[in-house]
Amino acid sequence: MSEFFAVLAFSFSVTGPIFVILALGVWLKRVGMLTDAFIDAGSRLVFGIALPALLFVSISQTRLEEAANVALVVVAAAVTVVAYVLLEWLVGRTRLPASDRGVVVQGAFRSNLGIIGLAYCINAYGEAGLIAASLYVGLITILFNVLAVVTLSRSLHKRQGPGRVLRGIATNPLIIAILLALPVSWAELALPAVLLQSGRYLADLTLPLALLCTGAALNFASLRASPQGTLIAAVAKLVLIPLFATLAGIAWGFRGIELGILMLMSSAPTAAASYVMVRAMGGNATLAANIIAVTTLGSLLTTSAAITILRATGLM
């Protein structure tokens, strides 16, 4: 019995702090301390500066030949592509409006890697989790962006040429930060102490500010709209894809931190960026927001359950 409670305690240590900060964001928004303008500015600060700084510092100070796990990224990419193809097929056979199908598909496969996923990994494994997850975040984020453009373009009947897709990838702050950090890591360059410490200050802003803004942006008032699409995306995002990814990792031979990161990243809720992309392309933004809200809170429960099971079986 004591071992069972130890497993539960570990699970809560991973998801508990995230729940607390998300709940604090919800409360601060309700009492007026966090405004819509703050949420917008804070989110842009995280995406444009703080999170890129976190990834740059982490990768640049890591010896990639020791920490990089190509197999982990390959398995994650394969799981994402297979899940995307299956989702396109399954959602295409529902009674959802054609224009909503791409929103549901994107909401199901596109994880919030840079905020919730990274927070899960850091809480579970500390600095080792951050190092192992940094390259994962950068490369899989590229894949997410490409597949999201494809599925939304298909369902909304809008053309997004390869040039526009490539431009979006090339100007993504997370990808730029990773590309700048890789040569520094490979060459084992020693960064100036002032630059490194400044980067760490910015990096330290990332998770608390991002989680506060995420909590403050949650809106449950519109959940009655498009309940079927929200339910389909939530079940796929919170249960089916994490289960598929975990089983694929076990079959590949992953154990410990490798399997843990694969499970935690795939268990992360739908990325907030999915709402921005849907709105920019003229899709059902309300449905996208609903999916984000439901999966953000649901992920805390399903991830806790998954951690408990993997720890109890000795796989994680």
Calculate what percentage of the chain has a pLDDT beyond 70. Answer: 90
Q: What is the pLDDT of residue 13?
A: 81
Radius of gyration of the chain (CA): 19
* CB environment 215-226: b (16+ within 10 A), e (fewer): bbbbeeeeeeeb
Residue 253: what pLDDT? 94
Q: Report, as an integer, the average pLDDT of 54-61.
A: 83
Element (H, E) at 10: helix 2-30
Give mean pLDDT, residues 277-283: 78
Q: What are phi and psi of 150, to 5 degrees?
A: -65, -50
For residue 253, which of 66, 83, 75 has the smallest C-alpha distance? 75
**CA atoms of 262 and 246, how far apart (whole Å):** 7
Task: Please classify residue 127 by burial: count the beta carbons closer than 10 Å to its beta carbon, then call 0-12 exposed, 13-18 middle and 19+ buried.
Answer: exposed
Least confidently predicted of 54-63, 154-163, 170-179, 206-215: 154-163
Task: Give residue-wise pLDDT tens across range 193-246.
Answer: 998 899 999 988 888 888 888 788 777 666 666 688 999 999 999 999 999 999
CB 85 within 8 A of CB 147: no
Determine the pLDDT at residue 68: 64
Phi, psi of 222 (to 5 degrees): -100, 15
Q: Taking 70 as the threshold, does the pLDDT of residue 2 lie above it?
A: no
Q: Under CATH, to which class is 2-312 assigned?
A: mainly alpha
> Where do the structural domains in the chain lie, given as residue ranges?
2-312
Taking every pair of C-alpha atoms in the chain, what is the biggest distance, in angstroms?
58
